[in-house]
Amino acid sequence: MKFRFVASTREGRIIKGTRYAENKQDLGRNMNTEGLLLMSAEPESFTLKERMTAINVGGISVIDKVLFARHLAIMIKSGIPLIESLQITVEQTSNESLKIILGQILENVRNGKSLANSLEQHRRTFGGLFVSMVRVGESSGTLDANLDYLSIQLEKDYELRQKVRTAMLYPGIILAATVLLGGALSIFVLPKLVDLFYGLNVELPIFTKIFLAMASFLASWAVWIIVLLVMAVIGMRVFARLAPVKKFLDMLVLKAPLLRQLILKITITRFTRTLGTLLRSGLPIVESLAITQDTLNNQVYEDIIVKVRGNIEKGTLLGTSLAEHEKYFPKVVSRMIGVGERTGKLGETLGYLTDFYENEVDATTKNLTTVIEPILLIVIGLIVGGLGVYEEAYNKVKSTKWLYLHGSAPCYWHFRSFGSACNAFLSNFSCAIAARLDHCRNTQCPASCSTECYGRHQ
């Protein structure tokens, strides 16, 4: 419960603020332990944002969690008590959502709960890795060291995601621009050309016909196509939460020619780093694997880790168990882990593997960008090639002799037959060109043609 209070120090200084507590009695006891005298306290209602945050719906970034873990570790190392360290963290935090959650954690710790149990109430916000490492640190007396490990782990994972996003940014922008350009041309420009060419009654190349037919279809059904795409995206996000669907999609991604190696290396990097961090913090291997499993975000790998845990509980070594899944864990991973187990340096070995696969992710993202760029150029080339339909109109205007291939009607009336696609200005302009090229017939050129055309043939 949140209270707005007024309290005084032993020196008589008045302090006002807000704090969380179970009730007024708990708030008074907590303040007495800090040398404060509670003068008055009134319950304060939660705002909508605070209510949403209380059920773990706040906006807390990875960087916020990294800074929280790092600052808390530094203060504990400096000898500042946990409650005071949390109080300082709450006061210095600029993220309002995180401040509300940390305020609730602080009051729980003041009421006698452990930091891990307090974090457990916000597991969806902090994650199983955060909670477990804090719990191990509290039980082993190495909370500051575990918080250091944790901040490094979260920061490295964040940097890995940023590297992939940065590498995919340029191809993504080009692809989005290409799709938008193609859609705009198909909906707003090409349908007018369709009417124009149908009015001319000329024979078009087969590729032009196909391109114009696709443009006409997109223009006619544009609204429904957009609605269906939006519904498909929403439906995929909803159904992707179902275990069978998620596993199918994860398996599909792992079979994609361009993405397979990147996803595999990212997942192995996350696996080795998380497992190594947990083992170095003192957590048993089976429990470490269970927590690591939840951080992989890939149902195929999560199912493999479940099998590996079962084998380890039966006495099988980790390296041997991973060797049974060579398709997803290359030989170098299972063999190095096996060596680490036999030499008693599994944590260090996992660290070496993490560094190795981090470099592999960097190289793969660069290579993937290099491969994607030519593909995007081909797509753009197809769109530009499709715009060759403009060449038909250009050729017709460039050579005005075509105006007389369909009967003896004068040039003005041929242009008039195009309908809305060619107006009177275009007809006069074309007649002037015809006069210059001696293509306009003196016996049939009407006064509606330009003065030059009409006067030249009187």
Q: 257 and 349: one domain?
A: yes
Asked if residue 421 lies in contact with residue 195, where contact means CB atoms within 8 angstroms, the answer is: yes
Q: Report d(CA 340, CA 399) in Å as an integer.
A: 79
Q: Report d(CA 278, CA 272) in Å as an integer.
A: 10
Residue 314 falls inside a structural domain: yes
The string of pLDDT tens digits covering residues 204-214 is 667 667 777 77
Residue 358 falls inside a structural domain: yes
Backbone angles phi and psi of 107, in degrees to 5:
-65, -35
Q: 133 and 85: one domain?
A: yes
Residue 388 falls inside a structural domain: no
Q: 300 and 331: one domain?
A: yes
Q: 23 and 70: one domain?
A: no
pLDDT for 438: 43
Residue 288 falls inside a structural domain: yes
Asked if residue 265 lies in contact with residue 254, where contact means CB atoms within 8 angstroms, the answer is: no
Q: 258 and 360: one domain?
A: yes
Low-confidence residues in the chain, pLDDT < 50: 48-58, 397-458
Q: Which CATH number is 146's domain given?
A: 1.20.81.30
Work out the angle between the directed axes of helices 260-280 and 123-140 (0-180°, nearest 10): 40
Asked if residue 18 lies in contact with residue 2, where contact means CB atoms within 8 angstroms, the answer is: yes
The total number of structural domains that make up the chain: 3
pLDDT for 453: 43
Residue 33 belongs to what domain range? 2-45
Q: 107 and 136: one domain?
A: yes
Residue 240 falls inside a structural domain: no
HEC sequence for the chain: CEEEEEEECCCCCEEEEEEECCCHHHHHHHHHHCCCEEEEEEECCCCHHHHHHHCCCCCCCHHHHHHHHHHHHHHHHCCCCHHHHHHHHHHHCCCHHHHHHHHHHHHHHHCCCCHHHHHHCCHHHHHHHHHHHHHHHHHHCCHHHHHHHHHHHHHHHHHHHHHHHHHHHHHHHHHHHHHHHHHHHHHHHHHHHHHHHHHHCCCCCHHHHHHHHHHHHHHHCHHHHHHHHHHHHHHHHHHCCCHHHHHHHHHHHHHCCCCHHHHHHHHHHHHHHHHHHHHHCCCCHHHHHHHHHHHCCCHHHHHHHHHHHHHHHCCCCHHHHHHCCCCCCCHHHHHHHHHHHHHCCHHHHHHHHHHHHHHHHHHHHHHHHHHHHHHHHHHHHHHHHHCCHHHHHHHHHHCHHHHHCCCCCCHHHHHHCCHHHCCHHHHHHHHHHHHHCCCCCCCCCCCCCCHHHHHHCC
Q: 39 and 66: one domain?
A: no
Q: Report d(CA 367, CA 262) in Å as an integer.
A: 10
Q: 257 and 359: one domain?
A: yes
Return the structure tokens found at 60: 């807390």
pLDDT for 44: 65
Q: Which of residues 156, 175, 194 is at a domain's end?
A: 156
Q: 262 and 346: one domain?
A: yes
Q: 106 and 30: one domain?
A: no
pLDDT for 271: 93
Residue 348 falls inside a structural domain: yes
Q: Which of 161, 180, 162 is nearest to 267 (CA)?
A: 161
Q: Report d(CA 70, CA 430) in Å as an integer.
A: 75
Q: Which of residues 365, 388, 420 is at a domain's end?
A: 365
Asked if residue 365 lies in contact with residue 163, where contact means CB atoms within 8 angstroms, the answer is: yes
pLDDT for 442: 42
pTM listed for this prediction: 0.63
Residue 24 falls inside a structural domain: yes
Q: Which of residues 116, 135, 156 is at a domain's end?
A: 156
The string of pLDDT tens digits covering residues 43-100 is 765 554 444 444 444 458 888 999 999 999 999 998 999 998 998 988 888 888 888 8
Q: 256 and 338: one domain?
A: yes
Q: 356 and 269: one domain?
A: yes
Q: Report d(CA 439, CA 431) in Å as an integer.
A: 9
Residue 89 falls inside a structural domain: yes
